[in-house]
Each structure stands twice: as C-alpha cells, then as structure tokens.
A and B are shown apart, each in its own frame.
Chain A
C-alpha cells in the first residue's frame, strides 16, 4: 500500500528537482558544450588547457559567487570589483617576500577584513534604507580609491606556495590542474550547501524573495542583509587572492574593478539568479562565470572578429534575460 504513495512522491520530487535545478543544469551543459567545442578547434586539449581555464576563471567565479549571494538576499553590490582589487593590493603588499605560512595567514586576514568591511556596507544599507545600488555605487569608488592608496603602482608579491595553492605551479603556469579545480569547486559547493541548508543561508533566500513576509515570519532581515554583504566581501577577497596567485604581483586599476563588477552581474544573470532576489543559486552563477571566461578563447579560436566578441557577450545576456522573463511570465500565468 505504501509503494504506490512512495512512487508518486518520488515522481513529484523528481519534477521539483528538475524545476529547481533545470537552469543550473542548462548552464553547466552550455559550459561543457563550449569546452568540447573549444577542445575540438585547438590542436590539443590536455592538462595545460584544463589548468589554464580553471585557474584563469577563478577570479570571475569567486566574484560571481559573491554577487550571487548578495543578489539572492535582495541586494546588489557594484563594489565587488573594487573589493577584489583592494584585497589584491593589501595581500600583495603584506605577502611580498614572505614565507608560505605567513602568506596563508595574510590570506585569512584579508578575507576577514573584506568580510568586515563589506558587512559594514550592508549595515549602512539596512540602517539608512538608501537603495543598495546607490550605496555600492559610492563604495565602488571609495574602495577602489583605498586600493590605490595601498598600492599606487603595480608591485608587491606573494610566496611560491601560495601561487601553487591556486594555480598548481609556483610560476603560475603549468599542467597541474588539481589545485585550481579544488579551488573552483570546494568554495562553490561550500557556499551552495550553506545557502540551501543552513538557517542563515535560508534566511537570505527568504529576505530576498519577500523582505516583509520574511520579517513577519521572524527572520532578522537586517542581519540577513549584513551577512550577505559580508559573505560577498569574503568571496570578492578570494577573487583578489586568486588574481594575485595567478600573476605573482599586485595591481590596483579602477578599470579592472569596474570591468569585474560588470562581469559579475553578467555572470549571475546568465547563471539564473533573479535580479529581484530570492531565486537562483551560486552553482549556476559560478558556471556562468566560467562560461564568460571561456567565451573569449572560443570566439578567438573560431576566428570571430575580436571586436564582435563583446557584442556577442552582450547579446547573450539580453537573450538570457528575455528567456528568463518568458519563463517567469509562464509561471505567473500557470499559477
């Protein structure tokens, strides 16, 4: 007698799962397709290429996760790119000529600093009730300015071990792809698990999807906002650290900050995170981050005019937004 009921429950679960993970699966499939296509256009695709793509997409992946956490909780942070260059600058200054152990401690310190700083931004937003986009537009400039104060011109450094931690090689270039893959998947899955299974993580979803309802049902929405910004800041710092590991020296350019911010927003949109909050996951955003990175080598391998490449990236975002809009419309009609 129970078998029939179990069967139907399982059936529903399967469909719910598909609805829930359909977009993520789609983005990962798109990524795999791009990689397969890319592999077939170049003479050989081996460990060097895997390592190269994995490590070079790290900064954008971390930034996409940072933006996803904040947007899911109902905010948006235009300063994630600035936080990336600030963390990069501070770490490069403090890690220069230091041993591996010290650089690791500095890394932890930098992540905590970024979390605290960005958490403070979240606090300002929740107390002042000024829209996120306005506050973070200001912090985009303020934090980038801080980065320039810390590191006025390119320089600083890090330890070989720290470079290997992210890139698999003391020189930042090589064929050992495991460290980069671990760095890619462990923080991503960690953040995804935390978002979906912890009380705090779920409170971000609740706050993002309907702050009033969340508040009325006992969620501390101010705390959720602050936490989302702090976690976002920490991931932006991870991006800055990855960037430092790749190059071996620091660089704080405003153009880098604004570029990365725009790409992080593009990544979450493509990754299925709704800009209105409450919907999406860091897993999709991370995949989209890699897709955006891989797009440039793929287009150049196809011989697409490099100036067209940016247009294609933009068109892709518009297309995704439109599809997402249609899906949303259908859902509302169905409901």
Chain B
C-alpha cells in the first residue's frame, strides 16, 4: 500500500514538473517577440520593506510615471522584505530577467556597489532612489535627508524657544536616510544648547512600533517636544488616548498628520516633506538616461516645511480620499509627468 502511495507521489511531482516546464516553454516563445522595433523599455524595481505605506506609494509613483511616459512596456517589481543579501539577489534576478533599467531603494550605501556595477557593465541603467549608493555610474535621486532632519528639528527647537526636553524618534539604525537625518538633527541641536534629548528610539518606520514607544515615553516622563522620522500621526494619537496635552510634534507630509494639523485644536506641529513620489522622479531620470539624454548623475530634492499656522497649504495637500499614511506631496516639477490620481490608481503599463 504505502509503496504504491509513494510511487504515485513521485509521479505527481514529476507530472507537475513537466507541466511547469511546458508552460515555461510557451512563455519563452511569447517573450521573444517583444525585442526589436519601437524603443520600449522594461523597468525593474527592488524594494525591501513591504507593507510600509511610503514604500508602496513610491512603487505606485514608479508605475504611474512609467505608464505616463508611454515608452515603458513593463514594470517588474520585486517587493519582498529583505536585508542586504536579499537585495543583492533581487538585483541579480532583475539582471537575469533582462530589464533595461533598475530602480532600487537601497538597503546600504556601499554593500550593493559590486552588483550595481555588474548591472551597469551589462548596459543597465541603475537609479537609486530615496537613499544614496556610492557605486560608479549609478544615478542617485534622493530627498535631502540631512535637511529633512535639520529643518524639522530647527522648527521644533525654535518653537520651544530654544529650551526644553525633546525626544528623537528615528527610523532604522544604520540605514543611510536615518543616519543623514540624525546628522541634520544633531546640526540643529548644536545651534540650540538649551535643548536636551531625553530619549532616542528606533521605530523601524513602523507606525505601531512608534505608537508603542511614544505612549511609553509620554506616560513616564515630561517631554516638551517630539521629533519623528515620519512616524507622526500615531504619535499624536497617543496623546489623545492617554489624555495628555499635546506637545509640538514634527513629522512628515503624511495624510493623517496633515489632517491632524488641520483639525485638532491645540496641536502644534510641522510636516516636513519627504515625497515617495521620488520614485516617479527616479523613473523619469531612468527613462531620460535610456533615451540618451544624459541626465544629472545626482538629483537632490530639498524638503519643504508646512506647520500648523499654514492652514491653506495644509488643506491643499490634504486628500480626504486617501489613507493616513499617504504622502500628500505627489507632483514634483519638473520631473513627474503623471496626474496625482495616477499614483492612487497604482497601475503600471498594461495593468488593470
């Protein structure tokens, strides 16, 4: 009995194997037809932080810009939680799949250089968005993270009159954007000797983790202000649930936080822009490079600061149809060519 069962087993596996292989053959046949003719491109994307609203919107901006450009026929997205080792695998997979350009949000400034240089040597355009890499020949498109840290911290310290206890809620330790923001934060701190940092946390850019940390902090000690690396609306919510008066909070241009700045009485705060639409900018630059237009090797977007006194601008940014984590600052001149709604739709070429 059991022997026969196992035999059947091996047979089923073998049949599955053959079916899979046969399907593969078909796909390959179709794929061959695409090559020549009009100049259309395939763009590969590697993202290593899944389920994060900012990153998802970044991918949507890449898809929206690829669709709007009209010259991209496919966007291949590898969206999988991974460390540096994993991302090297992502990039090698994209090279293997024959993409024309690779857009990555890198996990490390230097660790990916050799695989990026390998891609470039095979004629692939590589664009690092959001965070920088130092690889030769890679395009780098970033929000100025040091200014992000500096401008927000400076706003907070001025708001406190240069004196008080603040909390620094950072992102992920060792990630370049976090290091840069921290450097900017420290630069502002040097200008205000009366400010003391009483607590430094790493939220992992996870709203629920940030919320838990914030609740612990505000219920156990006196703080005068909180600087966050973009985990903002859940921090504000903790003041509400613990019934503690608001202190000034610095966050990003998240929809939920912008809404709080508009609607909550007594909340002072500043939204510092850190647009995930940088993915769209990176796509525009990748396409430019593919078409031989020789774009700048590095592009840096300086953040803007909107605080609770600028209600008009905040209302313009606020999008009632979007979820709380949605970044409100979507269209970036002169790079992006999509409509804001295309980012919400989140469809690449040929999808939907």
Contacts and interface: CB of A to CB of B under 8 A. Distances in A.
Contacts, number: 169
A154 B78 contact: no
Interface in B1-43: 1-3, 5-7, 9-10, 12-14, 16-18, 20-21, 23-25, 27-28, 31
A44 B92 CA distance: 13
A193 B28 CA distance: 39
A78 to B, nearest CB: 18
B85 A153 contact: no
Nearest to A28: B13
Given A56-B88, A248-B114, A23 B20 contact: no
Contact of A37 (B24, B31, B85, B204): B24
Q: How large is the interface on B (under 10, 10 to 19, 20 to 34, 35 or more residues)?
A: 35 or more
B108 to A, nearest CB: 6
A26 B78 contact: no
B77 interface: yes
A9 B74 CA distance: 59
B118 interface: yes
Interface stretch (B95-103, B159-167, B261-269, B291-299): B95-103
B56 to A, nearest CB: 9
Contacts of B69: none
Given A42-B97, A56-B85, A15 B28 contact: no
B309 interface: no
Contact of A172 (B23, B50, B115): B115
Interface string A224-248: 0000000000000000000100111
A307 interface: yes
A245 to B, nearest CB: 9
Contact of A26 (B3, B9, B76, B89): B9
Contacts of B18: 33
A116 to B, nearest CB: 25
Contact of B6 (A18, A248, A307): A18
A257 B97 CA distance: 29
A37 B76 CA distance: 17
Contacts of A318: none
Contacts of A154: 84, 108, 111, 174
Interface residues of A, number: 63
Contacts of A327: 5-6, 9
A212 interface: no
A170 to B, nearest CB: 9
Given A52-B92, A154-B108, A251-B84, A300 B1 contact: no
Contact of A43 (B77, B89, B97, B204): B97
B79 interface: yes
A155 B9 CA distance: 47
B95 A293 contact: no
A300 B24 contact: no
B323 interface: no
A43 B110 contact: no
Contact of B7 (A18, A45, A297): A18
Interface in B42-65: 50
Interface in A279-335: 293, 296-297, 300-303, 306-307, 309-310, 323, 327, 330-331, 333-334
Given A26-B10, A43-B31, A297-B93, A246 B16 contact: no
Contact of A29 (B6, B14, B50): B14
B58 to A, nearest CB: 14
Most buried by A among B12, B96, B173: B96
A310 B12 CA distance: 24
B17 A32 contact: yes
A44 B16 contact: no
A59 interface: yes
Given A39-B24, A249-B110, A306-B77, 19 more contacts: A22-B7, A25-B13, A27-B13, A40-B28, A41-B24, A42-B97, A56-B85, A56-B92, A171-B114, A173-B118, A243-B85, A296-B78, A296-B89, A297-B93, A300-B76, A300-B78, A301-B97, A307-B79, A331-B1
Interface of A: 15, 18-19, 22-23, 25-27, 29-30, 32-34, 36-45, 48-49, 52, 56, 59, 152-155, 171-174, 243, 246-249, 251, 253, 255-256, 259, 293, 296-297, 300-303, 306-307, 309-310, 323, 327, 330-331, 333-334
23 contacts: A18-B7, A19-B6, A23-B9, A26-B12, A34-B20, A36-B20, A41-B27, A41-B97, A42-B96, A45-B96, A48-B95, A173-B118, A249-B111, A251-B174, A259-B81, A297-B97, A301-B97, A303-B74, A306-B79, A327-B5, A327-B9, A333-B1, A334-B2
